[in-house]
């Protein structure tokens, strides 16, 4: 991988995005890069599923893409070894999981520690794992949302950088709640990636820092950026992967 994230030169950071589905967050990141809102460019997209819709999106934007079908591998370790090699072929500064529906081995995670981000559809540490929207509704939550964190071997357990909060309506279903959370994700992920690429956010010596100061709690998207919540023009259907 190339030089440290946020180094002082003006070279755009190199991003590799891993997907398993239709790539809605990939689309938000590509758009933010192309509009200059992130000092970076997506240099490669890798999927573990040949039918992932996000591969077509990458092709539309002229981004190199590659498929490593996990079903072709005898073990999780064998898949992760080839995945790591494929990632490093692109010499990225940052590896971004965007609906990548694989549990990664500790050896793989260690290889990219401090340079790999994930977005999860809950207000971590609540609701790690799957079916987060249904679980939040079953528990009677009045607030839900999404979190972006650095990846560690613990599932959805890495340091949380920033969250976007979404109110839960009395008549919400898992699908309606998922749609609103995903709209928030499309604002949240580019903002976090921007901050990591610019060096505003760093994970140094196991201490998460924002602007050179330890972050004692996750940043909150709308409070911290003064953005107004509103509909996303893409208005996508609920996310299952990607």
Catalytic residues: 120
Question: In whole angstroms, how far apart are CA 222 and each of 98, 138, 187?
Answer: 21, 26, 10
DSSP letter at 97 equals E
Q: Output the CA torsion 49→179→197→70 (10° steps).
A: -10
Sign of CA dihedral 29, 125, 22, 172: negative
Nearest Cα neighbor of 164 from 139, 189, 135 is 189
Q: How far apart, in whole angstroms, are the C-alpha atoms of residue 144 and residue 184?
A: 11
């Amino acid at each position: 991988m190339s030089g440290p994230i946020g180094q002082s030169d003006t070279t755009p950071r190199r991003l590799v995005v891993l997907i398993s589905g239709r790539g809605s967050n990939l689309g938000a990141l590509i758009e933010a890069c192309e509009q200059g809102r992130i000092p970076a460019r997506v240099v490669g997209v890798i999927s573990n599923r040949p039918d992932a819709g996000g591969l077509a999106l990458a092709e539309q934007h002229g981004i190199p893409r590659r498929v490593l079908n996990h079903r072709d591998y005898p073990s999780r370790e064998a898949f992760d070894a080839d995945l790591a090699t494929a990632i490093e072929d692109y010499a990225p500064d940052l590896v971004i999981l965007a609906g990548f529906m694989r549990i990664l081995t500790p050896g793989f995670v260690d290889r990219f520690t401090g340079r790999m981000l994930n977005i999860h559809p809950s207000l971590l540490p609540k609701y790690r794992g799957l079916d987060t929207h249904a679980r939040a509704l079953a528990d009677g939550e009045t607030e839900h949302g999404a979190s972006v964190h650095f990846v560690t071997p613990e599932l959805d357990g890495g340091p949380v950088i920033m969250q976007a909060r979404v109110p839960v309506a009395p008549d919400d279903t898992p699908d309606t709640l998922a749609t609103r959370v995903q709209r928030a994700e499309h604002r949240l992920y580019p903002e976090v990636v921007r901050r990591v690429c610019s060096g505003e956010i760093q994970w140094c010596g196991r201490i998460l820092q924002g602007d050179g100061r330890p972050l004692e709690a996750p940043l909150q998207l709308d409070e911290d950026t003064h953005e107004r919540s509103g509909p996303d023009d893409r208005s996508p259907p609920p996310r299952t992967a990607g």
